[in-house]
Structure 1
Amino acid sequence: MAFLQGPSAKQLEIIKQEMGEGPGDMDRCVRDLRSMCAASPHLPQPDVFDRPFLELFVRGCRMDMERARKKLDQFCVARTRYRDLYEHRSLTEPPLNDICKFMDIVSLPLLTDEGARVTIFRIRPNYPDSSCDVAATVRAVLLLSDVRMRDEKPIAGDVFVWEVSAVRGGIVSRVASAITAIRRGIHLAHAAYPQRLKRNHIVGAPAFLASSLQLMRSCMNEKVKRRFYLHAKVDELLDHIPSRVLPIEYGGQEESIDILARKWRQRTDELREYLRNLNEMSNASAPKPDNDIYGTVGAFRKLDID
């Protein structure tokens, strides 16, 4: 059962105003995306997508239909183009079940006052080294992104919280060995999913990561840099996110991360057929891969953030 809550009536009006969405605009935009699918030889038929799903692309692109069409196309084509990233669709079965011992990936049920969705990526304390598979973690993030696309409501944007205080030094070599999957994951997050990044919070980075994060931040454009925060402790998040939204581990009022992570795993299993259908939505006639799959630092330079 889906448990993401949507905006209040007042928040929805604010979101529409921020997006520049007027009366009748959404009807026109949804028809546009359905027409694109009907005319494309490699996209699914228009009735494959329900209206809320298409609305996510429209609002995620601030009513810019050229961007929305490109993102929807890439969302579908990615299933064929990067098949290895989408081949495992369960968090309770091998090989992705081990990732749950390494990282919790949890989108929180309530929205912030501005109408943003908060997603927590928490490195689990005392994780076994065998579970620290960075390439598989990218696959798990994409899997939960697809699940969230099924359940998400109108939102103003995304707030990401990365709690990395428990990460150990061995992660560095594992990141290096999985750099291709990481680059592709960043590429897809930007090119194929209707995300509007509001803020990125990094919490508890140990010394061996802090210098790399500072270097990465120095390479960002000013707009991205203003939305990138480094925190020593989780309680500093309360200066940016209401306590009613945050889990109890972070001084908030929401259920614990362990409970929420278990609910997300359960929701993933409930949507097995939906996830399988997503993987089959693009056919073999899909366009060839682009060569411009940029690296991590370069991605921050190129990100087009509203």
Structure 2
Amino acid sequence: MCVLGPSIKQSEVIKQEWGENAGDVERGVRNLQDMLAASPYLPEPASIDENILQLFVRGCRMNLERARTKLKAFFLTRSRFRDLYEHISLNDPPLSDSCKFLDIAPLPKVTDEGYRVTVIRVRANYADSCADIADAARAILLVSDARMHDETLIAGDVFIWEVSNVRASLAAKLMAAANAVRRSIYLAQAAYPQRMKRIHVVGARPFLASSMQLMRSCVNEKIRRRYYIHNKPEDLLDHIPAKVLPKEWGGQEDSIESLAKQWRHRVAELKNYLQNLKDTCNATPAPIMDSDMYGTVGAFRKLDID
């Protein structure tokens, strides 16, 4: 496993913050299983790893109505947007090319608050042919799926985008793929059991201003207030402890390249799990229309993300 959970003390603090009492998670899981069993458009509960259901219960702070809404979106968006989830390997094309463009690495240790930090770094000297924005989004979502298999109790998510190696040509590609970017960000908010705590952007140059505005426009005001802009990676030490950060940024963890390689290996190990998740979601019998995705089912714009 590439991720470590919080300490016993941290776990107790997180549970207390959420108001989680003994038996609450088990009751929440049963509630979600009942919802799955009652719907002809959702997978059978026996086909879903129970850890996923636990993550939704806890990621929604024990709010079962929100957990049901997000879980529906998790499965139905995969049926609607199958192109984002069609590849389950980071070692084969086209996503292997994305790994020559991006390092994607959820970090092993959590912060003192119990947050999981995920690093997404644009690699130096990447080939323009590897910088496909839609495939990059697919690779990030694939690592997110793999992490869900291993993740334990965490208090929230922190994302670090290190973009100092971005060339001006990429900014144009990003704007050209605006729909794919918006769709992926909406999915991350509305269909995953994460609680976004902070987003750190490192090394953004002036020509990325429009790209930054695009990404900020896809999240609600609460998340926009959680954006932090840094000139250099060392500034992250003011926000994240050294024990969590990679060594090239003044931290104590392995290098980003090494951690990203470990995640590529972990995704390969979880091939059967990821294939089963893909097949299960693709078996959804009813077509899901865009009006549904952005309204009742997905509730992308209505859902209060925390």
Q: Same fold (TM over 0.5)?
A: yes
Q: Which residue of 1 aligns with 2:260?
A: 261
Q: Which residue of 2 aligns with 1:286?
A: 286
Q: Which residue of 1 aligns with 2:64?
A: 65
Q: Alpha carbons of 1:116 and 1:172: their partners in 2 closer, same or farther (altered >3 Å)?
A: same
Q: What is the rounded CA distance, in whole Å, between the counterparts of 1:216 and 1:65 in structure 2?
A: 29
Q: What is the rounded CA distance, in whole Å, between the counterparts of 1:249 and 1:112 in structure 2?
A: 18
Structure 1 position 291, deviation (Å): 2.9
Matches within 5 A, 1:34-183: 34-183=33-182
Q: What is the rounded CA distance, in whole Å, between the counterparts of 1:143 and 1:198 in structure 2?
A: 21
Q: Which residue of 2 aligns with 1:8?
A: 7
Q: What is the rounded CA distance, in whole Å, between the counterparts of 2:64 and 2:214 in structure 1?
A: 35
Structure 2's unaligned 5+ residue stretches are none
Secondary structure in structure 2 of the residue aligned to 1:195? coil
Q: What is the rounded CA distance, in whole Å, between the counterparts of 1:157 and 1:52 in structure 2?
A: 16
Native 8 Å contact 1:16 1:22 kept in 2: yes
Structure 1 position 301, deviation (Å): 8.0
Structure 1 position 14, deviation (Å): 1.0
Native 8 Å contact 2:158 2:199 kept in 1: yes
Structure 1 position 3, deviation (Å): 2.2
How many residues align? The count is: 301
Listed one character per residue, the Cα deviations across residues 132-169 of structure 1 (whole Å, up to 9, x for unaligned) are 10011011111111101111111000000000000000
Q: Alpha carbons of 1:85 and 1:13: their partners in 2 closer, same or farther (altered >3 Å)?
A: same
Structure 1 position 224, deviation (Å): 2.4
Structure 1 position 186, deviation (Å): 1.3
Native 8 Å contact 2:190 2:305 kept in 1: no
Q: Alpha carbons of 1:127 and 1:60: their partners in 2 closer, same or farther (altered >3 Å)?
A: same
Q: What is the rounded CA distance, in whole Å, between the counterparts of 1:87 and 1:28 in structure 2?
A: 33
Listed one character per residue, the Cα deviations across residues 264-300 of structure 1 (whole Å, up to 9, x for unaligned) are 0001111111111111113242352233777xxxx99
Q: Alpha carbons of 1:5 and 1:23: their partners in 2 closer, same or farther (altered >3 Å)?
A: same
Q: Alpha carbons of 1:215 and 1:130: their partners in 2 closer, same or farther (altered >3 Å)?
A: closer
Listed one character per residue, the Cα deviations across residues 154-191 of structure 1 (whole Å, up to 9, x for unaligned) are 10000000000000001122112222221211121111
Native 8 Å contact 1:224 1:300 kept in 2: no
Q: Alpha carbons of 1:303 and 1:168: their partners in 2 closer, same or farther (altered >3 Å)?
A: farther
Listed one character per residue, the Cα deviations across residues 64-108 of structure 1 (whole Å, up to 9, x for unaligned) are 111111111221122221011111111100111000111111000
Q: What is the rounded CA distance, in whole Å, between the counterparts of 2:257 and 2:186 in structure 1?
A: 29
Secondary structure in structure 1 of the residue aligned to 2:159? strand
RMSD of aligned alpha carbons: 2.2
* TM-score relative to the length of structure 2: 0.92
Q: Alpha carbons of 1:304 and 1:166: their partners in 2 closer, same or farther (altered >3 Å)?
A: same
Letter in 2 for 1:17: Q
Q: Alpha carbons of 1:135 and 1:21: their partners in 2 closer, same or farther (altered >3 Å)?
A: same
Q: Alpha carbons of 1:149 and 1:217: their partners in 2 closer, same or farther (altered >3 Å)?
A: closer
Greater shift, 125-134 or 206-215, is seen at 206-215
Structure 1's unaligned 5+ residue stretches are none
Q: Which residue of 2 aligns with 1:24?
A: 23
Q: Alpha carbons of 1:128 and 1:55: their partners in 2 closer, same or farther (altered >3 Å)?
A: same
Structure 1 position 16, deviation (Å): 0.8
Letter in 2 for 1:207: P
* TM-score relative to the length of structure 1: 0.92
Letter in 1 for 2:61: R
Structure 1 position 214, deviation (Å): 6.3
Secondary structure in structure 2 of the residue aligned to 1:241? coil
Q: What is the rounded CA distance, in whole Å, between the counterparts of 2:284 and 2:218 in structure 1?
A: 38
**Sequence identity percentage:** 59
Q: Alpha carbons of 1:87 and 1:216: their partners in 2 closer, same or farther (altered >3 Å)?
A: closer
Native 8 Å contact 1:159 1:199 kept in 2: yes
Q: Which residue of 2 aligns with 1:251?
A: 250
Native 8 Å contact 1:187 1:293 kept in 2: no
